[in-house]
Amino acid sequence: MTPKEAMQLAIQEAYKGWGRVYHNPMVGCVILNQKGELISKGFHREYGKDHAEVDAFKKAGASLEALKGATVFVTLEPCAHQGKTPSCAKTMSQWPIKKVVYGLKDPNPLVQGKGLEILKNAGIVVEAFGDFSDELQELIEIFSFNMKHKEPFVALKVATSLDGCLAYPEESPLRWITGDKSREHCHFLRAHYDAIVIGKNTLLMDNPFLTVRHKDFPNHKNKVVIFWGKGLEKEIFRKTNVYQSHGEKEIFLVAPKKTFEDPKVIWIESSA
């Protein structure tokens, strides 16, 4: 396997963590032996659980013997600090590997460059990959934005016809201008985000569920943020699909302060 093939495979592995790893970035790892043959591959499976490097190590049978002289390809610099899991760089420094090839430096200021230094100090050759920059950046787009700007990453989803229409006329028997495949992809995208934001008209006119209905994410739930200019009566709100499918703790209502001074409107108590 060539270095390019190894990094391409690591990128593919990273995407297996889609929708499961926030607050962390998606990361993939591939380990080759001295002959360039695949030993194992791994990915960061879920926030708080094994990172990609450790996942690949375990898939290699957790055998240090198998790693003698090996080269590790990882899409992102191994983490240097102790968080939900031990430092990957410190763990890898105990492996009998020859080289680590990384895709990008970690944008996290707690980590940036420090993981590489730990590996170098352990006598491991460290090398920047220098290719697939766009593909690698896309893997950490949201994580990198959060680190740089200290604010949420926001994406706008719009479905339109070729002539710029958003929906069929009210008298039309048709419900959607989209097809099954585009709606399935929309639910796949939803799983990658933590919250869905809508306005009052969407709530009242469409009465959406705003759940993630995708075979790969059967239990995934997003928080819902509703922008509301005026009060919403409790009984009306509690009959909506959003309320029935999420419950008060997963819904945030954003409205002027005076909205909540009316005893007829609902106040949603929720933890941040």
Q: Tokens 């990957």 — which residue?
A: 88
The predicted structure's pLDDT at residue 271:
33
232 and 131 part of one domain: no
pTM for this entry: 0.84
* Predicted local confidence at residue 260, as pLDDT: 62
Q: pLDDT for 181-200, tens place per residue?
A: 988 998 999 988 989 999 88
Q: Do residues 8 and 90 both lie within one domain?
A: yes
- Residues of the domain holding 250: 180-269
In a domain, 169, yes or no: no
More confident residue, 77 or 255: 77
Q: Residues 143-163: what's their mean pLDDT?
A: 89
Whether residue 176 has pLDDT greater than 80: no
Instruction: Please indicate, yes or no, whether residues 211 and 124 belong to a single structural domain of this protein.
Output: no
**Mean pLDDT value of segment 255-269:** 58
Question: Are 104 and 210 in a shared domain?
Answer: no
Give first-to-last CA distance, the chain, whole Å: 47
What share of the chain in percent tops pLDDT 90? 53
Q: Please indicate, yes or no, whether residues 184 and 145 belong to a single structural domain of this protein.
A: no
Average of per-residue pLDDT values in the chain: 88
Query: Could you give the C-alpha distances from 262 to 126, 157, 259, 265, in angstroms and in order?
Result: 62, 33, 6, 6
Same domain (yes/no): 11, 80: yes
H helix or E strand, kind and range, residue 246: helix 241-246
CA distance 106 to 112: 5
Q: What is the pLDDT of residue 210?
A: 92
- Give me the active site residues, please: 53
CATH number at residue 134: 3.40.140.10
33 inside domain: yes
Domain-located, residue 166: no
Residue 164 in any domain: the answer is no
Question: Does one domain contain both 145 and 188?
Answer: no
- Angstrom distance (rounded) from CA 76 to CA 14: 10
- One domain, residues 103 and 215: no
CB 198 within 8 A of CB 208: yes
For the stretch 71-84, pLDDT in tens is 999 999 999 988 88
The answer to whether residues 137 and 212 belong to one domain is no
Amino acid identity of 104?
Answer: L
138, 202: one domain: no
Q: Pick the more confident residue, 264 or 249.
A: 249
- Please check whether residues 119 and 201 belong to one and the same domain: no
SS3 category, 171? coil
Contact between 96 and 68 (Cβ < 8 Å): yes
- Would you state the structure tokens that stand for residue 94, as one six-digit string? 């105990």
Same domain membership, residue 109 and residue 64:
yes
Helices 3-14 + 52-59 axis angle, to 10: 110
Count the domains in the chain. Answer: 2
- Identify the CATH number of the domain in which residue 195 sits: 3.40.430.10
Find the DSSP H helices in the chain.
3-14, 52-59, 88-92, 114-121, 133-139, 141-149, 180-190, 200-201, 234-237, 241-246
In contact, 102 and 134? CB cutoff 8 Å: no
Query: In the chain, how many H helices and how many E strands?
Result: 10, 8
Looking at this protein, which amino acid is placed at residue 250?
E
